[in-house]
Structures are given as C-alpha cells and as structure tokens.
Amino acid sequence: MLQDVEQLGGPARFTYCEDANIPDYLNRHYWWAYVHPKAVHFFDRGWVINLILLGNYHRLRDAALAEFSERPLGRMLQISCAYGDLSARLARRAAKLGGTLEVVDVLPIQLKNLKWKLPSRTPARLLRMDSTDLRLPDQSYEQVLLFFLLHEQPADIRSKTLREALRVLKPGGKLVIVEFAKPKWWNPMRYLLRPLLGTLEPFALDLWDRDLVEMLPPFTGVRRSLYYGGLYQKLVVTR
Ligand SMILES: C[S@@+](CC[C@H](N)C(=O)[O-])C[C@H]1O[C@@H](n2cnc3c(N)ncnc32)[C@H](O)[C@@H]1O
C-alpha cells in the first residue's frame, strides 16, 4: 500500500510503500554501509565516498549529471539513494530545467538522510520502495538513474531492477547507469581490487565477469564511457 506520510515543504514529500521489506542481501552484506545508523553518519562525508571510489567521486557524479542537462528535463527517477551531493544537485537541476526528481530507496534511514540534504522547496519526492518492485506506472519517466546500485545486488535481483528501470522509462527516455566494470588488463586495480571487492562487495565482481550491456534487452540503444582505466563505466541506455 502506498501512503503519503510527510510534507517536506513545497512539493517535496515522502511516499512510503509499507510492504517493502529490507532485502536479505542488504541486511547480510551491507548492514555496515547503509542499514546501521552509525553507517550513515560515518560514510556520508565527501572525503569518505571519494576515498571509496579511489578519488573518482566528483568525476563520476559529474558524468552522471552531464546526462541531465537538457530542458525540459521532465520526470526524473533516481533508483536508490547515494551518499554525497548527487541527489541535491539533481534536485537543483530539476528545479532549473523544468523537471522533477523522485528518489526510491528501500531503507527509511537513507531517505530520511537524503531529506536533509535536499535544498528546501525542491521539486522532489522520496519513495520507500524496492527497486525490484517499483509501484510506479509503466513509461512514466523521461530520465532514470542507477548510480552504483547494481553491483550491490545478487544477479537475479539485479536483472529485476534493470527490468523495472526500463519498464518505467518512457519511449525516447534515457536510463543512465554508473557502475563498476572490468578494468583494462594494464590497470593495476584489476589485480589489487579483486580480493577486496570479493570480500566486501560479494556481487560486484559479477560486473567484471559479465558485461552489463549483455543484460540489456535488444530494443535499447547503448552508449558507453569508461573511467579510471575501465574500472568504472557510464552506460546511457535509450529505448
Ligand atoms: C546506490 S547504493 C550505493 C551507492 C554508492 N556506494 C554511494 O553511496 O555513492 C546504496 C543504496 O541502495 C539502496 N538499496 C539497496 N538495495 C535496494 C533495493 N532493492 N531497493 C531500493 N534501494 C536499495 C540502499 O538502501 C542504499 O541507500
């Protein structure tokens, strides 16, 4: 059941889907990063997220933002919160370019944290939903963003999230994915990061072993940009 529970000022508001349960993989593998209250406090700092992305946070954030610069922006959906100021920047951009921002996340603690980061009177709505079961109509967004969510999800969940992201995208709309990819053979990160990722982010190496593009349906067009010796990628998917 969907319920509007809180006015944030202006048109921004929370919508809670009460039957969205916290997925098992989040509780099991990512409690330390997203679920525990101290995690939010510790990780949501510029220098920490920049360190985690090996100094590439600003570059990757700006690469995502660069895809949302045309007027009118229309309805934009960010599937899952991200630490840092990406959503605040998207909300400002939406206000400037004639659009709206909706952000989905399954964890109330993350949505509440985001609420304090959004500029006041922002054209934003925060939705508590699971990325695999978006309670949103088909073909209802001009823009959809997945910023570093897919690598955290087991393969079956990842496919469902991708399917949902494409389902809610309007024909002619744009899905932007910023994610890990397999680094080039000459990139030392290809050898140094494997054990670390394998331990801390058990599903991330899937994106090294199977190209994300192969998971997209054939009716989509894809443009890819690589960053940091191929460790990161941006996919711009159109339908
Ligand atoms: C986008 S990823 C992290 C991105 C990156 N590490 C960062 O913070 O910049 C983490 C977010 O995804 C959310 N999340 C994970 N699985 C989800 C799901 N099935 N549905 C909705 N949100 C989910 C988590 O609650 C968390 O807020």
Distance between Cα 185 and ligand 1 center (Å): 29
Top mutation candidate among 15, 32, 34, 65 for ligand 1, by most atoms within 8 Å of CB: 34
Please count the helices (runs of H) and the strands (runs of E) in the chain.
9, 9
> Among residues 37, 42, 84, which one has the least CA distance to residue 65?
84
Q: Which sequence spans correspond to the domains of the chain?
A: 2-238
Q: Report pLDDT for 219.
A: 80
Ligand 1 mutation pick, 17, 22, 24, 26, max ligand atoms within 8 A of CB: 26
Does 130 sit in the ligand 1 pocket, CB within 6 Å? yes
Is residue 127 lining ligand 1, measured as CB closer than 6 Å? Answer: no
The tokens 């998917």 sit on which residue? Answer: 237
Cα 212 to Cα 52, 126, 175, distances in angstroms: 21, 27, 13
Residue located nearest, by CA, to atom 2 of ligand 1: 149
Cβ–ligand 1 contact at 85 (below 6 Å)? no
For residue 146, the surrounding DSSP H or E stretch is strand 141-147
pLDDT score at 9: 40
Find the distance separating the first CA and the last CA of the chain, reported in whole Å. 30
The CATH topology of domain 2-238 is Rossmann fold (3.40.50)
- Closest by CA to 101, choosing from 76, 84, 126, is 76
pLDDT at site 13: 58
Q: CA–CA separation, 40 vs 1, rounded Å? A: 27
Ligand 1 close to Cβ of residue 64 (< 6 A): no
- Intervals of the chain under pLDDT 50: 1, 5-12
The response to whether residue 126 sits with its C-beta less than 6 Å from ligand 1 reads no
Q: Which atom of ligand 1 is nearest to the CA of 81?
A: 27
State residue 5's pLDDT score: 47
Q: Which atom of ligand 1 is nearest to the CA of 147?
A: 1
Tell which one of 145, 149, 180 to mutate to probe ligand 1, the residue whose CB is within 8 A of the most ligand atoms: 149
Token pair of 72 as six digits: 């009118």
Question: What's the Cα-to-Cα distance from 157 to each of 51, 86, 101, 132, 142, rounded to whole Å?
Answer: 27, 24, 24, 7, 23
| pLDDT the model gives residue 16 | 55
Q: To which H or E segment does residue 223 belong?
A: strand 221-227
Residue 143: left (phi > 0), alpha (psi -120 to 50), or beta? Answer: beta
Residue 83 Cβ < 6 Å to ligand 1: yes
Indicate the pTM of the whole model.
Answer: 0.93
Directed axis angle between helix 57-65 and helix 86-96, to 10°? 20
What atom of ligand 1 comes closest to residue 82's alpha carbon? 8
| pLDDT tens digits along 75-113 | 999 999 999 999 999 999 999 999 999 999 999 999 999
Q: Report which of 143, 44, 43, 56 is spatially closest to residue 93, judged by C-alpha positions.
A: 143
Q: By the 8 A CB rule, do 46 and 57 touch?
A: yes
| C-alpha span between 56 and 35 (Å, rounded) | 24
